[in-house]
Chain A
């Protein structure tokens, strides 16, 4: 009896006093992982072996491995292999066998004699060209059937080609800003389990990161620039064209012109019809300047099933809230972590097997001030007060939060909704156009969410949703008060 009274008493106290406010530091810990002294920490790619060993490819050619330790400075790094040219894609097949996409090919490196170091380097997949331009790095993701999808980046006009190229040279492909002078630059390729390569999808500029999620959907980001208005995330499907014209010189099915750059330069209407639009457009300054490797947040953590997207040019990682309307993928973006000790240069991402830690590989050497290395984000357990999800309705959005929201957020006046369009074209990035303000009303609300209704919801527009920074009723600070939703399809009433 006493015991029961005591328990009720505790509950009573909890009910009348605010719970402990949840702050960022209660939810996440950002740590620098120390690499061996003197090593250029230009992390091209990272991956875990089944046994939890972390492998990292450094862009000068070394592959290091270590079992992660609780102390981020105590990793016992060992050299596994060397001799890779700018390896930016890595699959750890087993603790003794890895595959790396380097500039000219995908190479399998294996330790066959058990001394801890690779001694056999065989060509696994090849078939794309290499022009000699510095920009042509490649990334990979597993296809779930023993093969891979390989993202083959374009060249930049800030560098030349060599006189003798690996693979056929195309004059039309060589034109313009970012270019595809040799085969399959700007494409996603598929490699089967035997290393046989076939073209999959075209129109990419610098899809520095490609990812097949557990449901089998294929995703790739890209970098703002020519024919990329801002930073996009694409849902990648076979045979589709994602907007950067030069890659089409290698597509035998593209018969409209021998010079796709000039063709679409002259006819943006045809361009808009022929391309597949981004599932999410991430405003360049506010959200993500250069997409790295997408990665789904695993089950067991809050935001499970959503995707993170590293920013290769900002001290931040984006969070993507995707949904399917009919057959069309679209969704919202906000920050996962902005600042908080993150370095810039984020481009590779892996969760540990238990889903509690996110490792981030970083490099920007050669593009700007070096921002390089390896960091990890530990999910400490508590859930931050944040925008949980934005979903589209026939005439607005439902915005859900991770916790109970203050009454003030149920007042339509605090919701600032505007929208704009992006026209990808030949310029390096495009400014928002056709800006509109939308007066929202509250169609519904409950403890954790608000459903907003407004006029002017239309496809191919990006909606900016902003609220003031409000603490939750228990005093937890709101982590994000800004999200952008890209509409490709409006659900029917």
Chain B
């Protein structure tokens, strides 16, 4: 009995005071204890002008590591923020501070982020291939545009020299972001406001020059500014929707699922080796299996078994216990199989 009590108090002491990140894919903080989440974060249509300290990625040709050459097709860069920090106070406020630009990128209310495409689920952990950027939840009321809205001596700090993020402090749990522009040090703190579609902002500067936040009336002063940043409903977000209303099995549905379940992280479609065997040129061909003398034909039954119970027949040269078993609706199994069968002759 005593042991049970001790264990109980141990787990309570941790969870009462210290909420930990769990398998919950929509983590949230509270007004008293905001959650600071550093991760790849969404780019909700930010204009290029807010990325002067980033470089711009370009498309690349698809590549087949088998022959070691480019193949038809290209991969395009996707929207996303690489080095930003998300902060959430529960439904009252969320915002994203970008550490590369050292500025507030956007702010919203009514939710935070849905990490499902990035963190995956408890059992399979599958990241969604090529589409893993988390999704926003809630109503966006502020979105950065143009030069940095922080002005010193009547000029945007974008013109003072490089803006460099130096870190943040938690003051009574509230993150206070610190950065420099030229020689001047700044801090930025955002907290929930009583007004809708708003947040309270505190901005400090190490300089005596007039300090202002462009576009907010009255947001001027010296050394320290406190003001309310209000906006309008710019966009609403509902998190990650898997959008698989598949009523009939098809090759195209299978192709989509192949990315969503993260299959392509381990199985190439071009016949080349990877963590797992290629599904290119697989269907209708013989496969060597660990522990079996005779190769097995990769027919529909084999493909279905390999998705449902990957350990049942392990392809020679590959480890067991690596692929999770996938329990899916029949229409999804059928779609995946049709897709794999469409790749019987790889490009």
Contact = CB atoms under 8 A, between A and B. Distances in A.
Given A165-B57, A428-B272, A429-B273, A366 B65 contact: no
B82 A58 contact: no
Interface in B121-170: 122-127, 129-130, 132-133, 165-170
Contact of A165 (B56, B115, B133, B169): B56
Contacts of B15: 36
A148 to B, nearest CB: 18
B135 to A, nearest CB: 15
A104 B99 contact: yes
Nearest to B262: A366
B85 interface: yes
Given A62-B20, A426-B65, A120 B57 contact: no
B114 to A, nearest CB: 14
Interface string B220-251: 00000000000000000000000000000000
Nearest to A157: B63
A165 B57 CA distance: 6
Contacts of B266: 158, 367-368
A104 B83 contact: yes
B140 to A, nearest CB: 18
B37 A62 contact: no
Contacts of B171: 119
A480 B43 CA distance: 53
A376 B63 CA distance: 41
A39 interface: yes
Contacts of B119: 40, 60
Contacts of B317: 285
A249 to B, nearest CB: 13
B22 A39 contact: yes
A177 interface: yes
A369 B65 CA distance: 24
Contacts of B23: 38, 40
Contacts of B35: 82
Given A61-B38, A83-B36, A425-B68, A159 B129 contact: yes
Given A162-B77, A426-B68, A39 B21 contact: yes
A415 interface: no
B100 A369 contact: no
Interface stretch (B191-199, B297-305, B320-328): B320-328
Interface in B309-341: 317, 319, 321-324
Contact of A175 (B10, B61, B123, B323): B61
B38 A79 contact: no
Given A60-B119, A82-B35, A174 B82 contact: no
Nearest to A83: B36
Interface in B76-127: 76-83, 85, 99-100, 115, 118-120, 122-127
Interface string A108-152: 100000000011111100000011101000000000000000000
A39 B273 CA distance: 34
A62 B21 contact: yes
Given A40-B21, A82-B21, A313-B322, A131 B57 contact: yes
B40 interface: yes
A163 B57 contact: yes
A170 to B, nearest CB: 9
A486 interface: no
Interface in B164-204: 165-171
Contacts of B99: 104-105, 123
Nearest to B64: A177
B321 A159 contact: no
A435 interface: no
Given A77-B14, A123-B166, A169-B56, A162 B21 contact: no
A370 interface: yes
Interface in A325-345: 344
Contacts of B130: 159-160
A70 interface: no
Given A265-B68, A428-B273, A40 B77 contact: no
Contacts of A161: 57, 77-78
B60 A163 contact: no
A289 B319 contact: yes
A289 B276 CA distance: 12
A71 B22 CA distance: 24
Contact of A119 (B14, B38, B169): B169
A163 B18 contact: no
Interface string B19-32: 01111000000000
A46 interface: no
Nearest to A64: B20
A168 interface: yes
A104 B165 CA distance: 12
Nearest to A177: B65
Nearest to A427: B65
B51 interface: yes
A225 B65 CA distance: 10
A107 B38 CA distance: 12
B319 A38 contact: no
B21 A174 contact: no
B221 to A, nearest CB: 26
A162 B79 contact: yes
Contacts of A78: 14, 18
Given A85-B39, A132-B82, A158 B129 contact: yes
B265 interface: yes
Contact of B322 (A60, A107, A368): A368
B126 A366 contact: yes
A164 B20 contact: no
A60 to B, nearest CB: 4
Contact of A158 (B120, B167, B264): B264
Interface in A86-118: 86, 102-105, 107-108, 118
* Most chain B CB inside 10 Å of its own CB: which residue of A119, A159, A425: A159
Contact of B75 (A121, A160, A163): A160
A428 B127 contact: no
B169 A121 contact: yes
A174 B169 contact: no
Given A163-B78, A166-B83, A427-B272, A366 B22 contact: no
Given A79-B20, A85-B38, A107-B167, A175 B63 contact: yes
B11 interface: yes
A15 interface: no
B346 interface: no
Given A165-B56, A176-B68, 10 more contacts: A60-B119, A61-B39, A78-B18, A162-B133, A165-B54, A171-B58, A171-B60, A181-B57, A426-B65, A427-B65
13 contacts: A60-B21, A82-B36, A107-B167, A120-B170, A131-B57, A161-B78, A162-B133, A164-B55, A168-B55, A169-B57, A174-B57, A368-B275, A429-B273
